[in-house]
Amino acid sequence: MAMVLQMTTFLQQYLYAQVHEAPKSSDAIRLGILSTASINSAAIINPAKSHGGVIVSAIASRDLKPAQETAKKYGIPKAYGSYEELLNEPGIDAVYISLPNGMHGEWTKKALNAGKHVLLEKPFTANAEEAREIVKLAVEKNLVLVEAFHWQFHPAAHAVKAIIDSGKYGQVLRTSARMTSPAGSIPRSDIRWEYNLAGGSLMDMTYVVSSTRYFVGPVTTPREVAHAKARPSPHDPKVDDAMEATLRFDVEGRMVESKIYSDMWRANVFGLIPRIWEAPSIEIELEHATIYFYNFMMPHIYHYVTIYDKRTRKTTTEKHYSGGPKWGTRGEAWWSTYRYQLEAFADAVREQQPPHWIELGDSIAQMETIDMVYEKSGLGKRQPTQRMV
């Protein structure tokens, strides 16, 4: 289901970019992209077209030809045949890094040392140790660095968080988050299955950890991972096709139990029917209500929030595409999660306070949690990619 959502977003972002293309300001942030990954069009290229303060001005690949082809396809002015060349370009203010997971740490360090602000694809790094290193460097350089958990910038996420934090339904008791993709929807040749690139379902579908921590919060890491079981890939037992785990958080002296489930090769029903109804979702049980947030990862496509009140036994349904407790009158209903994220990133680069932000400490705690799950499962935490000479 996750791949279906991603493809739908590609189409949606393309169509809206044609209709809502904005004229660029003379002081627009000039953004470069490291990699020619397929996510780039939905995550940054098309959202930037509707933002007058951001210009995607360069893209780089390990080889010049794919960079040139991508630049031509999307009207990007410059193409480079190495990441170093782009980082050495003085006209670039910031970079979006969508390289494989295991390369995030290395190239974020290089970007920060080159004086570039960084929007870094999730997962933040290969592990928590790397996360602490790049955070330290970003602080020393006084540069913007943020993990691209785009879903968390959307008004729907803020609306659900506000309901929880209001105290109307009491305290959080437990949560359960899932994210799956039908068997065969992610080819076995995909980099997500590569251990040497820090692959695995929990790394790719780390949204289940992100959403859990966001709605259970304010917390950092779980007190313990009570249970973690991986379903190893038949092609590499070090890589998880699927991961299920139970996390226990100590929230102001209360124990909150959270279950997570990620699966990049979810078995089809009767071996034939993909579970397309399994959009990334999270259930949050409070003392007096149960909240279910359907499709929290891509709420701009479609989502709903149901609230079952245990006292009245009534269920209400909400949808939130714009506005809300953080964005107010800013933003449009057609904005995707990526467009909201870009708006916040541009604010931060301009030294303005974004309506929502993911703090660096939160990204470290995210990677610490992922490390804990991998260690508990027996697979061991992921490692940075060894650079090929």
Tokens coding 270: 């009767």
- What sign for the dihedral angle of Cα 118, 122, 125, 131? positive
Short-list 42, 105, 80, CA closest to 339? 42
Look at strands 172-182 and 78-80 and give their pairing. Answer: unpaired
CB 33 within 8 A of CB 305: no
Tokens coding 127: 């592990």
Look at strands 172-182 and 224-232 and give their pairing. Answer: unpaired
Short-list 130, 126, 134, CA closest to 101? 126
State how far the Cα of 240 lies from the Cα of 215, in Å rounded to an integer: 25
State the catalytic residue, choosing from 49, 78, 116, 122.
122
Question: What element of type H or E holds 7?
Answer: helix 2-19
CB 244 within 8 A of CB 146: no
State how far the Cα of 326 lies from the Cα of 355, in Å rounded to an integer: 5
- What sign for the dihedral angle of Cα 338, 340, 5, 73? negative
Say which amino acid occupies 256: V
State how far the Cα of 155 lies from the Cα of 326, in Å rounded to an integer: 7
161 is catalytic: no
Q: Say how many residues make up the chain.
A: 389
State how far the Cα of 279 lies from the Cα of 295, in Å rounded to an integer: 5
Short-list 60, 36, 31, 34, CA closest to 48? 31
- Chain centroid to Cα 100, Å, comes to 14
Short-list 260, 205, 153, CA closest to 1? 205
Whole-angstrom Cα Rg for the chain: 20
Catalytically active residues are: 122
